[in-house]
């Protein structure tokens, strides 16, 4: 019997889950054994999984799971260097030259396990079967706007934390803007979104629309010439929604720090600063929930926000959306040799995951 083990996320500020109780019930009905670890932070309570008929395990016990269990989580495993003998479904961030990713692949080689990277679960046409992109874009645009508001208040963006839902987030942003406009006559920022037609860009654009902010929306047609892109510097906020990959143009080169520019906030929603293919060359590390913005220039000010688990700002909506997209693929776990799983395995091997 195929056995899926849903681990508790161990990364700080991560409340999402890739399988909802309804999806677990569907897997059980299909003959797949499901174990769900308890979690004190998961946005979805354990009671729903109990009611669905799942087996429940203590948080963090996945290393002791049966050898044939498939361990399913979203974000990073604890970086303890231990060999990984299990098959894992997760976001590995390991195939674009990231230093931490190379360490992760070495752990799989040492343990004989397999990584089915969620970023590389694709259909026959090469399109991802499930993505958090929309909510990453929505939340990333919100954090970038918070950074811009803080700048106008001669401050830096403070810590961020999960919201109970989309409307609560929007109400918070509106309150921030109201405070700002009561302090000074400030126009709405000019925003440019690159990758506006994709899932991430659509979410970012929807946040701007909800906040009555007009956004310049660029996609492949506007960026195909490869640069330079002086228009980016003419907007107060730039939202990057393009994944780093070979051939990706550079939208913000290092010279932008000394350039005459209106740009004061970069929201790198795709967030892959350690990749050689990153299109933003003015920063080199992700930001986090406690300090969401990295100041890379003081005169004129330029802040970069690059949180790599943005959808967890809205953990319920993003989990529901993602789990619904992924469930059809999870239902095919009984055949790991073909379909999305076979393609993910081939990607793992192509990137040196096997000894």
Q: Which fold would CATH assign to domain 133-313?
A: Rossmann fold (3.40.50)
pLDDT score of 217:
98
What mean pLDDT comes out for the span 71-97? 94
Mean pLDDT value across the chain: 95
The catalytic position among 93, 96, 146, 235 is 93
Give the pLDDT confidence of 100-110 residue by residue, as tens digits.
889 999 999 99
Whether the CB-CB separation of 117 and 90 falls below 8 Å is answered with yes
Q: Please tell me whether residue 111 adopts helix, strand or coil conformation.
A: helix
**Could you give the count of Cα atoms lying within 13 Å of 240 in the half-sphere of its Cβ?**
30
- Whether 3 sits among the annotated catalytic residues: the reply is no
Give the pLDDT confidence of 199-211 residue by residue, as tens digits.
999 999 999 999 9
Residue 330's pLDDT band, with cuts at 50, 70 and 90, is very high
Q: Please tell me whether residue 116 adopts helix, strand or coil conformation.
A: strand
Weakest-pLDDT range from 9-13, 49-53, 121-125, 250-254: 9-13
Domain boundaries, the chain: 3-120+315-350, 133-313
Whether the CB-CB separation of 262 and 230 falls below 8 Å is answered with no
Weakest-pLDDT range from 121-130, 175-184, 230-239, 299-308: 175-184
**Could you give the count of Cα atoms lying within 13 Å of 305 in the half-sphere of its Cβ?**
34
Is the model's pLDDT at 185 over the cut of 80?
A: no
DSSP tag of 122: B
Give the pLDDT confidence of 278-295 residue by residue, as tens digits.
999 999 999 999 999 999
Say what angle helices 315-330 and 21-29 make with each other, to 10 degrees.
Answer: 10
Give the pLDDT confidence of 239-287 residue by residue, as tens digits.
999 988 888 999 999 999 999 999 999 999 999 898 889 999 999 999 9
pLDDT score of 226:
95
pLDDT score of 205:
98
The Cα–Cα gap between 221 and 244 comes to 17
The Cα–Cα gap between 19 and 335 comes to 19
DSSP tag of 110: H
The reply to whether domains 3-120+315-350 and 133-313 share a CATH topology is: yes
pLDDT score of 138:
98
What mean pLDDT comes out for the span 314-325? 97
What mean pLDDT comes out for the span 79-95? 94
**Could you give the count of Cα atoms lying within 13 Å of 54 in the half-sphere of its Cβ?**
29
Q: 29: how many CB neighbours lie within 10 A of its CB?
A: 11
Whole-model pTM?
Answer: 0.88
* Direct distance between the N- and C-terminal alpha carbons of the chain, in angstroms, rounded to an integer: 27
- Whether 96 sits among the annotated catalytic residues: the reply is no
Residue 184's pLDDT band, with cuts at 50, 70 and 90, is low
Q: Which fold would CATH assign to domain 3-120+315-350?
A: Rossmann fold (3.40.50)
């Amino acid at each position: 019997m195929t056995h899926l083990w849903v681990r508790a996320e161990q990364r700080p500020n991560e409340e999402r889950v890739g399988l909802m109780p309804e999806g677990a019930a569907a897997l059980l009905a299909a003959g797949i054994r499901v174990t769900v670890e308890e979690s004190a932070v998961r946005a979805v309570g354990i009671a729903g999984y109990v009611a669905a008929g799942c087996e429940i395990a203590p948080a963090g016990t996945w290393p002791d799971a049966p050898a044939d269990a498939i361990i399913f989580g979203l974000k990073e495993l604890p970086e303890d260097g231990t060999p990984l003998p299990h098959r894992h479904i997760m976001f590995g961030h390991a195939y674009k030259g990231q230093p931490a990713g190379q360490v992760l692949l070495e752990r799989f080689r040492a343990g004989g396990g397999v990584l089915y990277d969620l970023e590389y679960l694709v259909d026959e046409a090469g399109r991802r079967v499930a993505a958090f992109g929309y909510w990453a874009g929505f939340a990333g645009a919100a954090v970038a706007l918070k950074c811009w508001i803080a700048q106008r208040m001669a401050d830096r963006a403070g810590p961020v934390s999960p919201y109970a839902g989309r409307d609560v987030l929007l109400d918070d942003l509106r309150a921030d803007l109201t405070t700002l406009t009561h302090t000074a006559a400030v126009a709405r920022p000019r925003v440019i979104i690159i990758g506006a037609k994709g899932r991430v860009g659509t979410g970012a654009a929807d946040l701007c629309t909800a906040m009555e902010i007009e956004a310049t929306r660029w996609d492949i047609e506007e960026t195909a010439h490869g640069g330079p892109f002086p228009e980016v510097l003419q907007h107060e906020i730039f939202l990057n929604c393009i994944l780093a990959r070979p051939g990706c143009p550079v939208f913000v080169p290092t010279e932008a720090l000394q350039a005459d520019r209106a740009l004061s906030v970069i929201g790198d929603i795709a967030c892959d600063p350690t990749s050689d293919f990153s299109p933003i060359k003015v920063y080199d590390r992700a930001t986090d929930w406690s300090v969401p913005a990295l100041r890379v220039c003081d005169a004129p000010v330029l802040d970069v926000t690059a949180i790599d688990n943005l959808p967890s700002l809205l953990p319920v909506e993003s989990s529901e959306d993602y789990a619904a997209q992924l469930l059809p693929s999870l239902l095919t776990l009984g055949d790991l040799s073909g379909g999305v799983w076979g393609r993910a395995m081939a990607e793992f091997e192509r990137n040196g995951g096997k000894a």
